């Protein structure tokens, strides 16, 4: 007996094996030699496609007795229910630590595999277990990502994520979410970043943070305090959502019209424009600094603005715009602003990051956590992004 479904947290289907339940019910021999548990694979009818290790997927767990099978299925159903409910929190933690939606999804995927494999009867608090697992995995990924980003061509910016459905992106508060702030957080060590995120966005106590990061509460408090000190006044004094939208709209309108004077009036004297293209032609490979230079750069692409189609979006809890050329997404644009004006202009030209943002928009629209699990296990297929099938 097996269960496959399209996971509601991304577009990749998951095969949920009952190997752990088989191990406990039928003994270790039935899973001997298997190396993949809960791995990502195509969702298939069990009689048509091989499962892990080349076996047919039905062979991963021989038919249990009529009394054992419902217990195994019910346990797994409860595990899925718990995970789906906590998934926004887990993604929110991983995304804020990593600044990459793609890497965050991979971390959440690995957290699911570990949750599936663990002895859940011994877990006192699923939220504590999964939050700790996700945070530690994200820290490990962040350490390796730092090395990879040293070879990135030009400025690196976090991947924007759609927040039209969940403005706080899974957190208790919409903190540590703006692109400009996520960029500053990348200057911290992964442990400092995680401590700040857990405290400011998810309201964890210092004792909880200490347990997750394997520190003393005193050290956890010091790390969070040190992380706060790295934030500039601009990052702490952002304008509200309505004013941010007004400033962005005014910036885009002035740039379209080539109105340098109006742009300069919107920008702070020390404004900086950052373009993330990873070597893409046309994207500035160094930061552009200063009100006049940023204004001139924003109007310099005279061939770009007249042919650009502008689509307003919600990204990272703030307003943004997607710019299309010839019907294809060409760039993402947002700004960071305080009462003094716009101090950061952030351009994302990297096609992989734009694709990830579009993917997050689809996921936000398709996923409805409140009724996801009910549909999943009753077999209803009413347009959701995943479906259940059982032997």
Q: Grade residue 265 by pLDDT with cuts at 50, 70 and 90.
A: very high
Tell me the pTM. 0.76
Count of CB atoms situated within 10 Å of the CB of 391: 13
Mean pLDDT rounded to a whole number for the chain: 78
pLDDT for 221: 97
Q: CA separation (Å) from 353 to 6, 158, 174, 180, 189?
A: 23, 9, 22, 16, 23
Tokens 């990749």 correspond to what residue?
A: 12
Separation between Cα atoms, residue 375 and residue 391, nearest integer Å:
17
More confident residue, 235 or 306: 306
Separation between Cα atoms, residue 165 and residue 185, nearest integer Å:
24
pLDDT tens digit string along 97-154? 999 999 999 999 999 999 999 999 999 999 999 999 999 999 999 998 887 888 899 9
Mean pLDDT score, 314-343: 94
Separation between Cα atoms, residue 260 and residue 238, nearest integer Å:
24
Count of CB atoms situated within 10 Å of the CB of 312: 12
What interhelical angle do 126-149 and 101-117 show, nearest 10?
Answer: 140
pLDDT for 148: 81
pLDDT for 43: 29
pLDDT for 198: 96
């Amino acid at each position: 007996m097996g269960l496959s479904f399209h996971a509601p947290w991304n577009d990749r289907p998951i095969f949920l094996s009952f190997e752990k339940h088989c191990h406990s019910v039928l003994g270790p021999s039935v899973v001997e030699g298997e190396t993949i548990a809960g791995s990502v694979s195509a969702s298939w009818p069990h009689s048509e496609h091989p499962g892990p290790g080349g076996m047919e997927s039905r062979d991963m767990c021989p038919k249990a007795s009529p009394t054992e099978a419902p217990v195994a299925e019910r346990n797994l159903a409860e595990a899925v229910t718990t995970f789906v409910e906590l998934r926004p929190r887990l993604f929110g933690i991983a995304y804020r630590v990593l600044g990459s939606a793609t890497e965050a999804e991979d971390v959440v995927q690995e957290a699911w595999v570990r949750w599936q494999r663990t002895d859940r009867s011994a877990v006192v608090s699923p939220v504590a277990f999964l939050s700790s697992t996700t945070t530690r995995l994200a820290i490990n990924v962040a350490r390796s990502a730092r090395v990879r980003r040293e070879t990135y061509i030009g400025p690196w910016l976090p991947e924007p994520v759609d927040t039209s459905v969940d403005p706080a992106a899974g957190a208790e508060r919409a903190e540590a979410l703006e692109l400009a702030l996520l960029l500053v957080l990348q200057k911290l060590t992964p442990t400092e970043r995680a401590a700040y995120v857990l405290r400011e966005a998810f309201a964890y106590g210092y004792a909880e943070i200490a347990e997750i990061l394997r520190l003393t509460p005193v050290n956890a408090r010091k790390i969070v305090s040190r992380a706060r000190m790295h934030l500039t006044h601009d990052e702490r004094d952002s304008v509200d959502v309505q004013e941010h939208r007004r400033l962005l709209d005014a910036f885009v309108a002035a740039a379209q019209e080539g109105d340098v004077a109006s742009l300069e009036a919107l920008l702070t004297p020390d404004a900086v424009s950052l373009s993330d293209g990873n070597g893409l032609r046309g994207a500035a490979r160094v930061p552009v600094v200063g009100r006049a230079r940023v204004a001139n750069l924003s109007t310099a692409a005279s061939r770009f603005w007249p042919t650009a189609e502008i689509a307003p979006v919600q990204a990272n809890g703030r307003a943004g715009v997607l710019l299309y050329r010839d019907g294809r997404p060409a760039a993402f644009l947002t700004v960071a602003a305080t009462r003094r004006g716009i101090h950061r202009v952030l351009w994302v030209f990297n096609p992989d990051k734009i694709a990830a943002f579009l993917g997050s928009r689809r996921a936000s629209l398709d996923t409805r956590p409140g009724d996801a699990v009910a549909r999943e296990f009753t077999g209803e297929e009413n347009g959701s992004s995943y479906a259940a099938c059982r032997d």
